[in-house]
Amino acid sequence: MADMQLVSASFIVLYNLLKKSKKKKRRSWISPLFVMRSREPDVNSSFLLQDLLSEEYQCRFKNFTRMSMEDFNFILNHIRERISKSDTKFRKAIPCDERLAVTLRFLATGDSYVSLQYLFKISKQAISRIIPEVCEAIIHCLGDFVQVPSSTEEWKEISKRFEEVWNFPHCVGPIDGKHVLLQAPMKSGSDFFNYKSQFSIVLMAVVDADYNFTFVDIGCQGRISDGGVFKRCDLYKKIANGTLNFPQNSPLPGRTKQTPYVLIGDAAFPLCDYLIKPYSGNHERGSMKRIFNYRLSRARRVVENMYVEYISTDKSTTFAKFTEKL
Residue extents of the structural domains in the chain: 32-144, 146-325
| Predicted local distance difference test score (pLDDT) of residue 111 | 85
Per-residue pLDDT for the chain (326 aa), expressed as one digit of tens each?
566 666 566 667 666 766 666 555 555 555 555 555 554 555 555 667 777 777 666 778 888 888 888 889 999 999 999 999 887 777 778 889 999 999 999 988 878 899 898 888 888 899 999 999 999 999 899 877 777 888 999 999 999 999 999 999 999 999 999 888 888 888 888 889 998 888 988 999 999 999 888 998 888 899 998 888 999 988 888 888 888 889 999 998 888 899 999 999 999 898 999 999 999 888 888 889 999 999 999 999 999 888 876 655 343 343 333 333 33
CB atoms within 10 A of CB 278: 19
Query: How many residues in the chain?
Result: 326
**pTM for this one?**
0.70
CB atoms within 10 A of CB 73: 13
Q: Is 173 helix (H, G, I), strand (E, B) or coil?
A: strand
Positive or negative, the CA dihedral 89, 103, 217, 167 is: positive
Partnered with residue 264 across adjacent β-strands are 174, 276
How far apart, in whole angstroms, are the C-alpha atoms of residue 150 and residue 239?
11
Helix or strand (DSSP H, E) at 194: none
Helix or strand (DSSP H, E) at 174: strand 171-181
